Copies of this chain bind each other. A is one copy, B any other.
Amino acid sequence: MKIIKYPSREKWAEMLKRPVFDSAGLEQSVQAILNDVKQNGDAVIRKYALQFDKAELTEFAVTVKEFGIAEMECSAELKQALKQAKSNIEKFHLSQKEEVKIIETVPGVECWRKSVGIERVGLYIPGGSAPLFSTVLMLGVPAIIAGCNDVILCTPCDKDGKVNAAILVAAKLVGISKVYKIGGVQAIAAMAYGTQSISKVFKIFGPGNQYVTCAKQLVNKEGVAIDMPAGPSEVLVLADETCVPAFVAADLLSQAEHGSDSQVLLISDNEKVITDTLAEVQFQLRVLSRAGIAAKALENSRAILVKDKIEAIELVNEYAPEHLILACKDCETLAEKVINAGSVFIGNYSPESAGDYASGTNHTLPTNGFAKSYSGVSLDSFVRKITFQKLSKQGLEAIGKTVELMAASEGLDAHKNAVSIRLKRS
Which residues of A are interface residues toward B (Cβ below 8 A)? 77-78, 80-82, 84-85, 87-88, 91-92, 95-96, 101, 103, 105-106, 109, 111, 113, 116, 118-119, 129-134, 166, 202-203, 217, 221, 223-225, 229, 244, 246-247, 250-251, 253-254, 256-258, 284, 288-290, 294, 332, 335, 338-362, 366, 368-376, 378, 380, 383-393, 395-396, 399, 401-403, 405-407, 409-419, 421-422, 425
Tell whether, in the assembled complex, residue A405 and residue B373 are in contact, meaning their CB atoms are under 8 Å apart: no
Which of A335, A338, A386 has the largest number of chain B CB atoms within 10 A? A386
Tell whether, in the assembled complex, residue A403 and residue B344 are in contact, meaning their CB atoms are under 8 Å apart: no
User: 18 A-B pairs, CB-CB below 8 angstroms?
Assistant: A78-B405, A78-B406, A88-B105, A130-B412, A247-B418, A247-B422, A250-B421, A254-B417, A284-B414, A332-B390, A343-B387, A346-B390, A349-B396, A354-B389, A355-B387, A355-B389, A361-B387, A378-B387
A251: chain B residues at CB < 8 Å are 418
CA distance A143 to B288 in the complex (A): 47
Tell whether, in the assembled complex, residue A347 and residue B391 are in contact, meaning their CB atoms are under 8 Å apart: yes
Which of A96, A103, A393 has the largest number of chain B CB atoms within 10 A? A103
CA distance A406 to B290 in the complex (A): 16
Tell whether, in the assembled complex, residue B109 and residue A373 are in contact, meaning their CB atoms are under 8 Å apart: no
Tell whether, in the assembled complex, residue B88 and residue A409 are in contact, meaning their CB atoms are under 8 Å apart: no
Tell whether, in the assembled complex, residue B354 and residue A399 are in contact, meaning their CB atoms are under 8 Å apart: yes
- 9 closest A-B pairs by CB: A225-B373, A105-B360, A88-B105, A351-B418, A346-B390, A250-B418, A202-B373, A81-B402, A257-B414
In addition to A257-B413, A257-B415, A350-B396, 5 A-B residue pairs with Cβ atoms within 8 Å of each other are A288-B413, A353-B418, A361-B389, A376-B387, A378-B387
When all copies of this chain in the complex are counted, the total is 2
- With contacts A109-B88, A414-B257 taken as known, whether A406 is within 8 angstroms of B358 at the C-beta atoms is yes
Tell whether, in the assembled complex, residue A414 and residue B119 are in contact, meaning their CB atoms are under 8 Å apart: no
- With contacts A109-B354, A414-B250, A421-B247 taken as known, whether A81 is within 8 angstroms of B406 at the C-beta atoms is yes
CA distance A198 to B132 in the complex (A): 43
A87: chain B residues at CB < 8 Å are 105
Q: How far is the CB of A35 from chain B (nearest CB, A)?
A: 14
A402: chain B residues at CB < 8 Å are 80-81, 84-85, 357-358
A408 nearest in chain B by CB position: B78
- With contacts A344-B386, A405-B77 taken as known, whether A221 is within 8 angstroms of B221 at the C-beta atoms is yes
Tell whether, in the assembled complex, residue A95 and residue B103 are in contact, meaning their CB atoms are under 8 Å apart: yes
A352: chain B residues at CB < 8 Å are 415, 418
A382 nearest in chain B by CB position: B373
Q: How far is the CB of A397 from chain B (nearest CB, A)?
A: 9
CA distance A256 to B87 in the complex (A): 50
A91 nearest in chain B by CB position: B105
Which listed residue (B132, B339, B386, B418) contacts A375, Cβ 8 A? B386
Q: How far is the CB of A91 from chain B (nearest CB, A)?
A: 5
Tell whether, in the assembled complex, residue B244 and residue A425 are in contact, meaning their CB atoms are under 8 Å apart: yes
Tell whether, in the assembled complex, residue A103 and residue B92 are in contact, meaning their CB atoms are under 8 Å apart: yes
A344 nearest in chain B by CB position: B388
Tell whether, in the assembled complex, residue A414 and residue B294 are in contact, meaning their CB atoms are under 8 Å apart: yes
Which listed residue (B131, B349, B403) contacts A395, Cβ 8 A? B349
CA distance A399 to B411 in the complex (A): 62
Tell whether, in the assembled complex, residue A358 and residue B414 are in contact, meaning their CB atoms are under 8 Å apart: no
Tell whether, in the assembled complex, residue B386 and residue A119 are in contact, meaning their CB atoms are under 8 Å apart: no
CA distance A344 to B100 in the complex (A): 15
